Structure 1
Amino acid sequence: MPSPIRQEFDLSGPADATRIKAIAFDFDGVILDSVQLKADLFIDCYGGRLDESQKAAILAYQAQHGGMGRVEKFRHFERNVFGRIPDEATIAGLTNQYSTLLMARIASCSELPGARAFLERTSTQLSLHLVSGTAHHDLVAITAQRRLDRYFDTIVGSPTAKADAFAHIVRSGRWLPDQVLAIGDSMTEFHAAAHTGMPFVGIVAANEPNPFPRTIAVFQDLDALSRAWPHLELAPAPAGNG
Protein backbone atom coordinates (compact mmCIF):
# COMPACT_ATOMS: atom_id res chain seq x y z
CA MET A 1 0.00 0.00 0.00
CA PRO A 2 1.43 3.42 -0.85
CA SER A 3 2.07 5.58 2.18
CA PRO A 4 1.06 9.18 2.68
CA ILE A 5 3.90 11.70 2.49
CA ARG A 6 3.80 11.81 6.28
CA GLN A 7 1.88 9.04 8.04
CA GLU A 8 2.02 9.81 11.75
CA PHE A 9 -1.40 8.81 13.00
CA ASP A 10 -2.39 9.26 16.61
CA LEU A 11 -6.08 8.56 16.32
CA SER A 12 -8.84 7.74 18.75
CA GLY A 13 -11.37 5.62 16.89
CA PRO A 14 -10.37 6.44 13.27
CA ALA A 15 -12.89 5.84 10.52
CA ASP A 16 -12.06 3.97 7.34
CA ALA A 17 -12.88 4.82 3.75
CA THR A 18 -15.76 2.33 3.58
CA ARG A 19 -17.84 4.64 5.77
CA ILE A 20 -17.58 7.54 3.31
CA LYS A 21 -20.71 8.37 1.30
CA ALA A 22 -19.64 11.68 -0.25
CA ILE A 23 -16.50 13.70 -0.96
CA ALA A 24 -16.08 17.48 -1.06
CA PHE A 25 -13.09 18.40 -3.22
CA ASP A 26 -11.13 21.61 -3.39
CA PHE A 27 -10.17 22.55 -6.95
CA ASP A 28 -6.83 24.37 -7.18
CA GLY A 29 -3.96 22.21 -5.98
CA VAL A 30 -6.16 19.11 -5.74
CA ILE A 31 -7.64 18.65 -9.21
CA LEU A 32 -5.97 21.41 -11.23
CA ASP A 33 -2.31 22.46 -11.08
CA SER A 34 -3.26 26.12 -10.79
CA VAL A 35 -1.98 27.22 -7.37
CA GLN A 36 0.98 29.17 -8.74
CA LEU A 37 -1.11 30.79 -11.47
CA LYS A 38 -3.67 31.98 -8.92
CA ALA A 39 -0.92 33.50 -6.76
CA ASP A 40 0.75 35.23 -9.71
CA LEU A 41 -2.55 36.77 -10.83
CA PHE A 42 -2.84 38.78 -7.60
CA ILE A 43 0.57 40.29 -8.33
CA ASP A 44 -0.36 40.95 -11.96
CA CYS A 45 -3.58 42.74 -10.99
CA TYR A 46 -1.50 45.41 -9.28
CA GLY A 47 0.73 45.79 -12.31
CA GLY A 48 4.13 47.33 -11.64
CA ARG A 49 2.97 49.20 -8.53
CA LEU A 50 4.37 46.73 -5.99
CA ASP A 51 7.71 46.68 -4.21
CA GLU A 52 9.33 43.39 -3.22
CA SER A 53 8.02 43.44 0.34
CA GLN A 54 4.46 43.95 -0.90
CA LYS A 55 4.82 41.09 -3.38
CA ALA A 56 6.15 38.85 -0.62
CA ALA A 57 3.26 39.77 1.69
CA ILE A 58 0.67 39.01 -1.01
CA LEU A 59 2.24 35.66 -1.89
CA ALA A 60 2.58 34.66 1.77
CA TYR A 61 -1.07 35.45 2.47
CA GLN A 62 -2.17 33.55 -0.63
CA ALA A 63 -0.13 30.53 0.46
CA GLN A 64 -1.85 30.50 3.86
CA HIS A 65 -5.37 31.25 2.63
CA GLY A 66 -5.56 29.56 -0.76
CA GLY A 67 -9.19 28.55 -0.34
CA MET A 68 -10.47 32.03 0.47
CA GLY A 69 -12.38 34.03 -2.14
CA ARG A 70 -10.58 36.74 -4.10
CA VAL A 71 -12.83 39.56 -2.86
CA GLU A 72 -11.80 38.90 0.74
CA LYS A 73 -8.16 38.65 -0.31
CA PHE A 74 -8.17 41.96 -2.16
CA ARG A 75 -9.80 43.61 0.85
CA HIS A 76 -7.05 42.19 3.04
CA PHE A 77 -4.33 43.40 0.67
CA GLU A 78 -5.78 46.89 0.47
CA ARG A 79 -6.04 47.20 4.25
CA ASN A 80 -3.01 45.27 5.47
CA VAL A 81 -0.47 45.46 2.65
CA PHE A 82 -1.17 48.97 1.36
CA GLY A 83 -2.70 50.55 4.46
CA ARG A 84 -5.78 51.75 2.59
CA ILE A 85 -9.44 51.56 3.49
CA PRO A 86 -10.88 49.09 0.96
CA ASP A 87 -12.94 50.95 -1.61
CA GLU A 88 -15.66 48.77 -3.12
CA ALA A 89 -15.21 50.24 -6.59
CA THR A 90 -11.49 49.44 -6.44
CA ILE A 91 -12.19 45.93 -5.16
CA ALA A 92 -14.71 45.36 -7.95
CA GLY A 93 -12.20 46.53 -10.55
CA LEU A 94 -9.47 44.26 -9.19
CA THR A 95 -11.74 41.21 -9.01
CA ASN A 96 -13.00 41.78 -12.55
CA GLN A 97 -9.43 42.12 -13.79
CA TYR A 98 -8.50 38.94 -11.94
CA SER A 99 -11.38 37.05 -13.58
CA THR A 100 -10.38 38.26 -17.04
CA LEU A 101 -6.75 37.21 -16.54
CA LEU A 102 -7.78 33.89 -15.02
CA MET A 103 -10.05 32.89 -17.88
CA ALA A 104 -7.36 33.87 -20.40
CA ARG A 105 -4.66 31.75 -18.75
CA ILE A 106 -6.34 28.85 -16.97
CA ALA A 107 -6.31 26.65 -20.08
CA SER A 108 -2.53 26.38 -19.72
CA CYS A 109 -2.89 24.60 -16.35
CA SER A 110 -2.77 20.83 -16.41
CA GLU A 111 -4.77 18.45 -14.27
CA LEU A 112 -2.83 16.98 -11.37
CA PRO A 113 -1.76 13.31 -11.55
CA GLY A 114 -4.60 10.88 -11.07
CA ALA A 115 -7.25 13.56 -10.63
CA ARG A 116 -9.58 12.66 -13.47
CA ALA A 117 -9.14 8.92 -12.93
CA PHE A 118 -10.02 9.33 -9.24
CA LEU A 119 -13.12 11.34 -10.15
CA GLU A 120 -14.11 8.82 -12.81
CA ARG A 121 -13.90 5.93 -10.37
CA THR A 122 -15.40 7.49 -7.27
CA SER A 123 -18.25 9.24 -9.09
CA THR A 124 -19.82 5.83 -9.77
CA GLN A 125 -19.72 4.94 -6.07
CA LEU A 126 -20.03 8.16 -4.08
CA SER A 127 -21.65 11.58 -4.25
CA LEU A 128 -18.97 14.08 -5.34
CA HIS A 129 -19.02 17.82 -4.70
CA LEU A 130 -16.68 20.64 -5.72
CA VAL A 131 -16.17 23.49 -3.25
CA SER A 132 -13.68 26.20 -4.23
CA GLY A 133 -12.65 29.72 -3.36
CA THR A 134 -12.75 30.46 -7.09
CA ALA A 135 -15.59 32.80 -8.02
CA HIS A 136 -18.65 30.66 -8.70
CA HIS A 137 -19.24 31.86 -12.27
CA ASP A 138 -15.58 31.24 -13.17
CA LEU A 139 -15.60 27.81 -11.50
CA VAL A 140 -18.69 26.73 -13.44
CA ALA A 141 -17.15 27.91 -16.72
CA ILE A 142 -13.76 26.27 -16.10
CA THR A 143 -15.21 22.90 -15.11
CA ALA A 144 -17.57 22.94 -18.09
CA GLN A 145 -14.71 23.74 -20.50
CA ARG A 146 -12.72 20.81 -19.17
CA ARG A 147 -15.74 18.48 -18.96
CA LEU A 148 -15.12 18.03 -15.25
CA ASP A 149 -18.60 19.21 -14.29
CA ARG A 150 -20.13 15.83 -15.12
CA TYR A 151 -18.45 14.23 -12.11
CA PHE A 152 -20.02 16.50 -9.48
CA ASP A 153 -23.49 16.58 -7.97
CA THR A 154 -22.89 20.17 -6.87
CA ILE A 155 -20.34 22.85 -7.73
CA VAL A 156 -19.99 25.76 -5.31
CA GLY A 157 -17.61 28.70 -5.57
CA SER A 158 -17.05 32.02 -3.84
CA PRO A 159 -18.64 33.95 -2.18
CA THR A 160 -20.11 30.92 -0.37
CA ALA A 161 -17.91 30.12 2.63
CA LYS A 162 -16.50 26.60 2.61
CA ALA A 163 -17.87 25.77 6.05
CA ASP A 164 -21.35 26.75 4.83
CA ALA A 165 -20.93 24.70 1.65
CA PHE A 166 -19.73 21.66 3.63
CA ALA A 167 -22.65 21.91 6.06
CA HIS A 168 -25.09 22.13 3.15
CA ILE A 169 -23.62 18.99 1.56
CA VAL A 170 -24.03 17.07 4.82
CA ARG A 171 -27.62 18.26 5.27
CA SER A 172 -28.68 17.75 1.66
CA GLY A 173 -27.50 14.14 1.64
CA ARG A 174 -28.88 13.43 5.09
CA TRP A 175 -25.47 12.06 5.99
CA LEU A 176 -23.58 12.23 9.24
CA PRO A 177 -20.62 14.64 9.12
CA ASP A 178 -18.14 11.76 9.43
CA GLN A 179 -19.58 10.22 6.25
CA VAL A 180 -18.49 13.18 4.11
CA LEU A 181 -14.77 13.47 3.39
CA ALA A 182 -13.13 16.82 2.61
CA ILE A 183 -10.02 16.82 0.40
CA GLY A 184 -8.00 20.02 0.19
CA ASP A 185 -4.57 21.58 0.00
CA SER A 186 -4.96 24.54 2.36
CA MET A 187 -5.88 25.34 5.92
CA THR A 188 -9.08 26.98 4.65
CA GLU A 189 -10.58 23.59 3.80
CA PHE A 190 -9.10 22.04 6.92
CA HIS A 191 -10.73 24.61 9.21
CA ALA A 192 -14.05 24.27 7.35
CA ALA A 193 -13.95 20.49 7.80
CA ALA A 194 -13.12 20.90 11.50
CA HIS A 195 -16.02 23.31 11.93
CA THR A 196 -18.39 20.83 10.28
CA GLY A 197 -17.06 17.67 11.96
CA MET A 198 -15.91 16.07 8.71
CA PRO A 199 -12.83 13.90 8.19
CA PHE A 200 -10.09 15.50 6.11
CA VAL A 201 -7.32 14.38 3.77
CA GLY A 202 -4.59 16.81 2.75
CA ILE A 203 -2.98 17.12 -0.67
CA VAL A 204 0.56 18.49 -0.41
CA ALA A 205 2.97 18.67 -3.36
CA ALA A 206 6.27 16.89 -2.82
CA ASN A 207 8.24 20.15 -2.71
CA GLU A 208 5.88 21.95 -0.31
CA PRO A 209 5.80 21.96 3.52
CA ASN A 210 2.95 20.11 5.18
CA PRO A 211 0.72 22.64 6.99
CA PHE A 212 -1.60 20.06 8.52
CA PRO A 213 -1.58 18.41 11.97
CA ARG A 214 0.25 15.08 12.20
CA THR A 215 -3.01 13.16 12.66
CA ILE A 216 -4.10 14.07 9.12
CA ALA A 217 -3.29 11.73 6.24
CA VAL A 218 -1.44 13.66 3.54
CA PHE A 219 -0.82 12.58 -0.04
CA GLN A 220 1.11 14.09 -2.92
CA ASP A 221 -1.84 13.89 -5.30
CA LEU A 222 -5.07 12.03 -5.98
CA ASP A 223 -3.16 9.27 -7.72
CA ALA A 224 -1.39 8.43 -4.45
CA LEU A 225 -4.65 8.73 -2.53
CA SER A 226 -6.40 6.40 -4.97
CA ARG A 227 -3.78 3.70 -4.45
CA ALA A 228 -4.04 4.01 -0.66
CA TRP A 229 -7.85 4.26 -0.58
CA PRO A 230 -8.69 0.60 0.25
CA HIS A 231 -6.61 0.81 3.45
CA LEU A 232 -7.13 4.46 4.31
CA GLU A 233 -7.74 5.53 7.89
CA LEU A 234 -9.36 8.93 8.28
CA ALA A 235 -8.84 11.29 11.17
CA PRO A 236 -11.38 14.02 11.85
CA ALA A 237 -10.05 17.55 11.49
CA PRO A 238 -9.47 18.53 15.17
CA ALA A 239 -12.26 20.82 16.31
CA GLY A 240 -9.79 22.98 18.20
CA ASN A 241 -8.35 24.10 14.87
CA GLY A 242 -11.69 25.08 13.34
Structure 2
Amino acid sequence: MIPFSSEIKNILWDFDGVIMDSMAVRDKGFEIVLKEYTAKEVEKLMDFHRANGGLSRYVKFRYFFEEIKKESISEEEVNAYAEKFSEIMLQNLVNPSLLIKDSINFIKASFAQYKMHVVSGSDQKELRLICKNIDIDKYFLSIHGSPTPKKQLVRNLLKEYSYKASETILIGDSINDYEAAVENGIRFFGYNNLKLKEEGKKYIEKFVK
Protein backbone atom coordinates (compact mmCIF):
# COMPACT_ATOMS: atom_id res chain seq x y z
CA MET A 1 0.00 0.00 0.00
CA ILE A 2 1.06 3.60 -0.50
CA PRO A 3 2.58 4.73 2.82
CA PHE A 4 1.50 8.37 2.89
CA SER A 5 -1.46 9.44 4.99
CA SER A 6 -4.87 10.73 3.99
CA GLU A 7 -3.82 14.31 4.81
CA ILE A 8 -1.61 14.42 1.71
CA LYS A 9 -3.15 16.52 -1.05
CA ASN A 10 -0.20 17.43 -3.26
CA ILE A 11 2.39 15.16 -4.89
CA LEU A 12 5.57 16.42 -6.54
CA TRP A 13 7.08 13.78 -8.82
CA ASP A 14 10.62 13.32 -10.00
CA PHE A 15 10.58 12.02 -13.58
CA ASP A 16 13.60 9.90 -14.53
CA GLY A 17 13.55 6.57 -12.74
CA VAL A 18 10.19 7.34 -11.12
CA ILE A 19 7.76 7.94 -13.98
CA MET A 20 9.96 6.85 -16.87
CA ASP A 21 12.66 4.20 -17.04
CA SER A 22 14.96 6.57 -18.89
CA MET A 23 18.26 6.22 -17.07
CA ALA A 24 19.92 3.93 -19.63
CA VAL A 25 19.02 6.36 -22.42
CA ARG A 26 20.42 9.30 -20.46
CA ASP A 27 23.60 7.35 -19.66
CA LYS A 28 24.09 6.74 -23.37
CA GLY A 29 23.41 10.39 -24.11
CA PHE A 30 26.34 11.55 -21.98
CA GLU A 31 28.60 8.98 -23.63
CA ILE A 32 27.63 10.16 -27.13
CA VAL A 33 27.98 13.88 -26.41
CA LEU A 34 31.37 13.36 -24.75
CA LYS A 35 32.67 10.72 -27.18
CA GLU A 36 35.77 12.78 -28.01
CA TYR A 37 37.05 12.43 -24.45
CA THR A 38 38.69 9.43 -22.82
CA ALA A 39 36.65 6.52 -21.47
CA LYS A 40 38.21 7.04 -18.05
CA GLU A 41 37.12 10.68 -17.90
CA VAL A 42 33.61 9.87 -19.09
CA GLU A 43 33.30 7.03 -16.57
CA LYS A 44 34.11 9.47 -13.76
CA LEU A 45 31.25 11.64 -14.98
CA MET A 46 28.96 8.62 -15.14
CA ASP A 47 29.73 7.84 -11.51
CA PHE A 48 28.78 11.41 -10.57
CA HIS A 49 25.71 11.33 -12.82
CA ARG A 50 24.38 8.08 -11.31
CA ALA A 51 25.01 9.23 -7.74
CA ASN A 52 23.24 12.54 -8.37
CA GLY A 53 20.23 11.68 -10.49
CA GLY A 54 18.34 14.79 -9.40
CA LEU A 55 20.94 17.24 -10.65
CA SER A 56 20.64 18.85 -14.06
CA ARG A 57 22.77 18.12 -17.12
CA TYR A 58 24.03 21.72 -16.88
CA VAL A 59 25.57 20.93 -13.49
CA LYS A 60 26.94 17.62 -14.77
CA PHE A 61 28.61 19.04 -17.87
CA ARG A 62 30.16 21.80 -15.78
CA TYR A 63 31.35 19.18 -13.27
CA PHE A 64 32.93 17.17 -16.09
CA PHE A 65 35.06 20.05 -17.31
CA GLU A 66 35.80 21.87 -14.06
CA GLU A 67 36.21 18.97 -11.66
CA ILE A 68 37.29 16.05 -13.86
CA LYS A 69 39.22 17.75 -16.64
CA LYS A 70 40.21 20.78 -14.50
CA GLU A 71 39.32 23.14 -17.33
CA SER A 72 37.20 26.27 -17.39
CA ILE A 73 34.00 26.24 -19.46
CA SER A 74 31.71 29.11 -20.38
CA GLU A 75 27.95 29.23 -19.91
CA GLU A 76 27.56 29.21 -23.69
CA GLU A 77 29.64 26.04 -24.00
CA VAL A 78 27.65 24.32 -21.24
CA ASN A 79 24.42 25.25 -23.04
CA ALA A 80 25.77 23.89 -26.33
CA TYR A 81 26.55 20.51 -24.76
CA ALA A 82 23.14 20.51 -23.08
CA GLU A 83 21.44 21.22 -26.42
CA LYS A 84 23.23 18.30 -28.10
CA PHE A 85 22.18 16.09 -25.20
CA SER A 86 18.56 17.24 -25.50
CA GLU A 87 18.45 16.39 -29.21
CA ILE A 88 19.46 12.82 -28.40
CA MET A 89 16.90 12.59 -25.61
CA LEU A 90 14.03 13.76 -27.79
CA GLN A 91 14.96 11.16 -30.40
CA ASN A 92 14.90 8.34 -27.86
CA LEU A 93 12.56 9.19 -24.97
CA VAL A 94 9.34 9.89 -26.83
CA ASN A 95 8.49 6.28 -26.18
CA PRO A 96 5.49 5.21 -24.06
CA SER A 97 7.02 1.75 -23.53
CA LEU A 98 9.60 3.38 -21.23
CA LEU A 99 6.93 4.50 -18.75
CA ILE A 100 7.10 2.67 -15.42
CA LYS A 101 3.75 0.88 -15.25
CA ASP A 102 3.47 0.82 -11.46
CA SER A 103 3.79 4.59 -10.99
CA ILE A 104 2.05 5.71 -14.19
CA ASN A 105 -0.97 3.52 -13.43
CA PHE A 106 -1.20 5.14 -9.99
CA ILE A 107 -0.92 8.60 -11.54
CA LYS A 108 -3.66 7.87 -14.07
CA ALA A 109 -5.94 6.49 -11.36
CA SER A 110 -5.24 9.26 -8.83
CA PHE A 111 -4.70 12.53 -10.66
CA ALA A 112 -8.21 13.69 -9.77
CA GLN A 113 -7.59 12.97 -6.10
CA TYR A 114 -4.22 14.71 -5.75
CA LYS A 115 -2.72 17.89 -7.15
CA MET A 116 0.28 16.57 -9.05
CA HIS A 117 3.35 18.30 -10.49
CA VAL A 118 6.62 17.15 -12.03
CA VAL A 119 9.87 18.56 -10.61
CA SER A 120 12.82 17.14 -12.50
CA GLY A 121 16.51 17.62 -13.08
CA SER A 122 15.84 17.12 -16.79
CA ASP A 123 15.61 20.08 -19.14
CA GLN A 124 12.21 21.73 -18.76
CA LYS A 125 11.48 22.32 -22.46
CA GLU A 126 12.53 18.78 -23.35
CA LEU A 127 10.53 17.28 -20.48
CA ARG A 128 7.34 19.09 -21.47
CA LEU A 129 7.71 17.92 -25.07
CA ILE A 130 8.23 14.31 -23.99
CA CYS A 131 5.21 14.37 -21.67
CA LYS A 132 3.01 15.99 -24.32
CA ASN A 133 4.07 13.60 -27.08
CA ILE A 134 3.37 10.51 -24.96
CA ASP A 135 0.12 12.06 -23.68
CA ILE A 136 0.80 12.18 -19.96
CA ASP A 137 1.04 15.96 -19.51
CA LYS A 138 -2.71 16.06 -18.82
CA TYR A 139 -2.21 14.33 -15.45
CA PHE A 140 -0.08 17.17 -14.02
CA LEU A 141 -0.98 20.72 -13.09
CA SER A 142 2.52 21.76 -14.15
CA ILE A 143 5.81 20.27 -15.35
CA HIS A 144 9.10 21.84 -14.30
CA GLY A 145 12.77 21.09 -14.89
CA SER A 146 16.26 22.49 -15.25
CA PRO A 147 18.14 24.75 -15.50
CA THR A 148 16.31 25.88 -12.33
CA PRO A 149 17.63 23.69 -9.45
CA LYS A 150 15.12 21.26 -7.98
CA LYS A 151 15.24 22.85 -4.52
CA GLN A 152 14.12 26.12 -6.11
CA LEU A 153 11.47 24.41 -8.23
CA VAL A 154 9.90 22.96 -5.10
CA ARG A 155 10.09 26.30 -3.30
CA ASN A 156 8.44 28.05 -6.24
CA LEU A 157 5.59 25.56 -6.41
CA LEU A 158 4.82 25.73 -2.71
CA LYS A 159 4.62 29.50 -2.96
CA GLU A 160 2.76 29.76 -6.26
CA TYR A 161 0.04 27.29 -5.28
CA SER A 162 -0.01 28.17 -1.57
CA TYR A 163 0.51 24.52 -0.66
CA LYS A 164 0.90 23.58 2.98
CA ALA A 165 4.13 21.69 3.65
CA SER A 166 2.24 19.18 5.81
CA GLU A 167 0.00 18.29 2.86
CA THR A 168 2.77 17.97 0.25
CA ILE A 169 5.23 15.19 -0.56
CA LEU A 170 8.01 14.64 -3.07
CA ILE A 171 8.54 11.20 -4.61
CA GLY A 172 12.01 10.61 -6.05
CA ASP A 173 14.80 8.13 -6.60
CA SER A 174 17.88 10.10 -5.59
CA ILE A 175 19.51 11.78 -2.61
CA ASN A 176 19.11 15.11 -4.43
CA ASP A 177 15.34 14.62 -4.38
CA TYR A 178 15.50 13.95 -0.65
CA GLU A 179 17.56 17.09 -0.09
CA ALA A 180 15.08 19.19 -2.11
CA ALA A 181 12.23 17.92 0.06
CA VAL A 182 14.06 18.46 3.36
CA GLU A 183 15.16 21.98 2.47
CA ASN A 184 11.55 22.93 1.75
CA GLY A 185 10.08 21.23 4.82
CA ILE A 186 8.02 18.63 2.98
CA ARG A 187 8.06 14.86 3.31
CA PHE A 188 10.06 12.66 0.98
CA PHE A 189 9.32 9.15 -0.25
CA GLY A 190 11.96 7.14 -2.07
CA TYR A 191 11.02 4.94 -5.01
CA ASN A 192 12.86 2.60 -7.36
CA ASN A 193 16.20 2.94 -5.55
CA LEU A 194 16.73 0.47 -2.71
CA LYS A 195 19.73 2.43 -1.48
CA LEU A 196 17.32 5.08 -0.19
CA LYS A 197 15.43 2.40 1.73
CA GLU A 198 18.67 1.04 3.15
CA GLU A 199 19.55 4.55 4.31
CA GLY A 200 16.31 4.67 6.29
CA LYS A 201 14.33 7.00 4.04
CA LYS A 202 10.57 6.53 3.80
CA TYR A 203 10.08 4.26 0.84
CA ILE A 204 7.39 3.15 -1.59
CA GLU A 205 7.82 -0.49 -2.58
CA LYS A 206 4.84 -0.46 -4.90
CA PHE A 207 1.87 1.75 -5.60
CA VAL A 208 -1.49 0.12 -4.99
CA LYS A 209 -4.66 1.84 -6.04
Q: What is the TM-score normalised by the length of structure 1?
A: 0.79
Question: What code does the residue aligned with 1:226 have?
Answer: V
Question: What code does the residue aligned with 1:73 have?
Answer: K
CA-CA distance at 1:116 after TM superposition: 2.2
- Do structure 1's residue 226 and structure 2's residue 198 form an aligned pair? no
Cα distance between partner residues in 2 of 1:179 and 1:188: 21
Q: Percent identity?
A: 24
Change (3 A) 1:166 1:213: farther
Given candidates 144, 149, 158, the residue that maps to 1:170 is 158
Cα distance between partner residues in 1 of 2:185 and 2:119: 16
Q: Partner residue of 1:103? A: 90
CA-CA distance at 1:48 after TM superposition: 4.2
Aligned ranges for residues 123-142 of structure 1 at < 5 Å? 123-142=111-130
Cα distance between partner residues in 2 of 1:219 and 1:40: 28
Three-state SS of the structure 1 residue aligned to 2:143 is strand
Contact 1:204 1:210 (8 Å CA) reproduced: no
Change (3 A) 1:88 1:214: closer
Unaligned runs of 5+ in 1: 5-15, 228-242
Cα distance between partner residues in 2 of 1:26 and 1:134: 9
- Do structure 1's residue 64 and structure 2's residue 51 form an aligned pair? yes
Aligned ranges for residues 54-93 of structure 1 at < 5 Å? 54-93=41-80
Q: RMSD of the alignment, in Å?
A: 2.0
Cα distance between partner residues in 2 of 1:28 and 1:163: 16
Cα distance between partner residues in 2 of 1:139 and 1:93: 18
Question: What code does the residue aligned with 1:103 have?
Answer: L
Q: Partner residue of 2:108? A: 120
CA-CA distance at 1:212 after TM superposition: 5.4
Q: Partner residue of 2:32? A: 44
Three-state SS of the structure 2 residue aligned to 1:94 is helix
CA-CA distance at 1:88 after TM superposition: 3.1
Q: Partner residue of 1:230? A: none
Cα distance between partner residues in 2 of 1:219 and 1:139: 24
Cα distance between partner residues in 2 of 1:73 and 1:190: 19
Q: What is the TM-score normalised by the length of structure 2?
A: 0.91
Larger Rg: 1
Change (3 A) 1:89 1:171: closer
Cα distance between partner residues in 1 of 2:19 and 2:148: 20
Cα distance between partner residues in 2 of 1:172 and 1:29: 26
CA-CA distance at 1:57 after TM superposition: 0.8
Change (3 A) 1:122 1:99: same
Superposed CA offset, 1:50-86 (max 9, x none): 23x2132111101111111111110110111111111
Q: Partner residue of 1:12? A: none
Three-state SS of the structure 2 residue aligned to 1:86 is coil
Q: Partner residue of 2:133? A: 145
Give the number of equivalent residue pairs. 208
Aligned ranges for residues 25-44 of structure 1 at < 5 Å? 25-44=13-32
Three-state SS of the structure 2 residue aligned to 1:107 is coil
Change (3 A) 1:44 1:115: same
Single out whichever of 69-78 and 170-179 deviates more from structure 2.
170-179
- Do structure 1's residue 186 and structure 2's residue 170 form an aligned pair? no
Q: Partner residue of 2:186? A: 198
- Do structure 1's residue 210 and structure 2's residue 198 form an aligned pair? no
Contact 1:131 1:156 (8 Å CA) reproduced: yes
Unaligned runs of 5+ in 2: none
